[in-house]
Structure 1
């Protein structure tokens, strides 16, 4: 299958290598010239080669295309496009790639946060199928330029599909990815079950003093989620579940959604035990700076979206709103000004998703 992955960071690089190992034709597109370019330039200088390391074993693969040119990465032969960039930049990159997309392609957002609305706004004429993932199938980090280390693979990967009626087609088409995709009822479910909405935001905010003190020696998942902090997790999660229930979806908790992704279906282990095991043994180091994307992305793109949906539905979200304000106070930014909400996504494009009228 011809696959283009947009985003050459941790997740995009890992999935590009993984899908190439599985025999697909893979193009990797870097969309920004900002940040640390050593990883991308190393791949290019090594004849498009990425090394994927997992469980002390490594495989080096040569990608078919590695480029910064959209026209080179997206061709008439491209069947699936996977967008693996921070959700903060979804709108910009979607506007840029629309002229190079063709009808009937499958576009996957990793993750989504209702980014489907941007495609309805800018590419409604293309009859695309949009897939929103809850989270990346691979928990990974670039450990040195050209090398990506996978610490954990999801057992199951729930996805929402727009239009809903294309769900079976998507499952059939993506079966060769080997990620055990599971259909949800809507992209709305996948957006609100993005785990970063809960643990990145609370973990990132509550970690700020420890990050400032630790000088780079910090593991958020191992350290921050004490019983008192977990009270906050459960209260924010309750607000999310009230919004889901108001929309007519199953009010699945963060932990139960985590268990679906991270453990076999027949597991008798409690959801909290599965989370604790991941936190202690499989989680990655960091964040290492107070203004990490755990806050700068997931507060404006996730919490503000949840707050906006709550306001529209008449569901009170005091914990969510407080966290937005506290994060902004810590970092001296008003996260509601440049954010993802019903207004910024466009009610015209979001309301059909909320009202189950995608088709």
Structure 2
């Protein structure tokens, strides 16, 4: 396939190499001048990118590395993968809409219901796919080199419109990421693991992050029994909202096990701690990281907004937003993802889509 990846960070870069080595023609599009500039400069000059996995280094020549939308998004682009923070999805969607064409697939890695932004800004027949998480957990270790930390064994996704799901899943199978079809993009949005563990973990870690001055492994340290009580309570609020919408409910640890482990008979909590202790990335090294700035504003604010619309109490969600806002002196609701911002009618279309098709 002809694939354009928007975002030249950890996951975008790593997946670009992986898909190129699988025989796809990949274009990397950088849309900002903030993060990973030295890495991007290297890519522009060399057009080579390497991934390190289990002591082996594999290198690929990337078809195109650019900042030009016209160059990156052409009529023969089959698939667009968004690998940028969800805070910027609305802005990027507005920028790429003129270059989109009917039948094109956009894969959000992940989305937090960015499908609604597509409906908000275009009437073109675009197929939206939202993933729970990236299929590869990775980090840029130096310009032009990425390290693979972990690969999911299954990757649940929702497809909108649901009527296109069968053909879309056949196309996505060409990526060889073991995608698994959910009933709705809403399930993918709310089963984003970062909604639960990034928010609780990073907020409860703020003193430790500041004290350690960057020498910190959140997944290994923070999830003590008391903090895990918060994880489970926040997870319960998410499940109540999914139940109200008539969608599949799944605990965080069960979703984690399904994505990460072949053996589904193992204990789900043990599976989480196995990932946390053996495969998780280091960090965050500052309180003001995407673990909070993205997953509170785009994840928790969305959850709180859904709760208000459905008259479902979300006290832990609200408390975490308040603590994060006061700790970092930012009003995350001001820039937060809400039903109003996504468009109430767009949410209704998404919620009724798979029900209408299946009935």
Scaled to the shorter chain, the TM-score interval is: over 0.9
Structure 2 contact 9–35 (Cα < 8 Å) conserved: no
Which TM-score applies when normalising by structure 2? 0.98
SS of match in other structure, 2:283: coil
Provide the C-alpha distance between the structure 1 equivalents of 2:53 and 2:43, rounded to a whole number of angstroms: 19
1:195 aligns with 2:167: no
Identify the residue that residue 306 of structure 1 maps to in structure 2. 303
SS of match in other structure, 2:156: strand
> How far is the alpha carbon of 1:111 from its aligned partner?
0.3
- Report 1:314-353 matches (<5 A): 314-353=311-350
Q: Which of 265, 269, 281 lines up with 2:266 in the alignment? A: 269
- Report 1:55-94 matches (<5 A): 55-94=54-93
SS of match in other structure, 2:167: helix
SS of match in other structure, 1:161: strand
1:26 aligns with 2:26: yes
Unaligned runs of 5+ in 1: none
Identify the residue that residue 122 of structure 2 maps to in structure 1. 123
Provide the C-alpha distance between the structure 2 equivalents of 1:9 and 1:306, rounded to a whole number of angstroms: 27
Provide the C-alpha distance between the structure 2 equivalents of 1:334 and 1:216, rounded to a whole number of angstroms: 25
Structure 2 contact 9–36 (Cα < 8 Å) conserved: no
Provide the C-alpha distance between the structure 2 equivalents of 1:15 and 1:288, rounded to a whole number of angstroms: 24
Deviation string, structure 1 residues 201-253 (Cα, Å, up to 9, x no partner): 00110111001011111000000000000000000000000000000012210
Structure 1 contact 247–355 (Cα < 8 Å) conserved: no
Deviation string, structure 1 residues 277-311 (Cα, Å, up to 9, x no partner): 11001001000001000000000100000000011
> How far is the alpha carbon of 1:355 from its aligned partner?
3.4
Aligned residues: 356
Provide the C-alpha distance between the structure 1 equivalents of 2:105 and 2:162, rounded to a whole number of angstroms: 13
Structure 1 contact 3–27 (Cα < 8 Å) conserved: yes
Q: Which of 127, 132, 138 lines up with 1:134 in the alignment? A: 132
Provide the C-alpha distance between the structure 2 equivalents of 1:76 and 1:267, rounded to a whole number of angstroms: 42
Provide the C-alpha distance between the structure 2 equivalents of 1:35 and 1:319, rounded to a whole number of angstroms: 32
Provide the C-alpha distance between the structure 1 equivalents of 2:101 and 2:52, rounded to a whole number of angstroms: 34
Structure 1 contact 10–141 (Cα < 8 Å) conserved: yes
> How far is the alpha carbon of 1:35 from its aligned partner?
3.0
Structure 1 contact 164–358 (Cα < 8 Å) conserved: no
Structure 1 contact 162–358 (Cα < 8 Å) conserved: no
Which TM-score applies when normalising by structure 1? 0.98
> How far is the alpha carbon of 1:170 from its aligned partner?
1.3
Identify the residue that residue 172 of structure 1 maps to in structure 2. 170
1:256 aligns with 2:254: yes
SS of match in other structure, 1:15: helix
Task: Please tell me the root mean square deviation across aligned C-alpha atoms, in Å.
Answer: 1.0
Provide the C-alpha distance between the structure 1 equivalents of 2:120 and 2:174, rounded to a whole number of angstroms: 30
Identify the residue that residue 15 of structure 2 maps to in structure 1. 15
Deviation string, structure 1 residues 257-289 (Cα, Å, up to 9, x no partner): 11110011x432111111101100100100000
Deviation string, structure 1 residues 62-88 (Cα, Å, up to 9, x no partner): 000000001101111100000110000
> How far is the alpha carbon of 1:122 from its aligned partner?
1.0
Structure 1 contact 131–162 (Cα < 8 Å) conserved: yes
Between 1:166-175 and 1:235-244, the stretch displaced more is: 166-175
Provide the C-alpha distance between the structure 1 equivalents of 2:177 and 2:92, rounded to a whole number of angstroms: 25
Deviating runs (4+, > 2 A) in structure 1? 354-359
Identify the residue that residue 35 of structure 2 maps to in structure 1. 35
Provide the C-alpha distance between the structure 2 equivalents of 1:293 and 1:45, rounded to a whole number of angstroms: 29
- Report 1:138-153 matches (<5 A): 138-153=136-151
Provide the C-alpha distance between the structure 1 equivalents of 2:13 and 2:270, rounded to a whole number of angstroms: 30
Structure 2 contact 8–36 (Cα < 8 Å) conserved: no
> How far is the alpha carbon of 1:358 from its aligned partner?
7.2
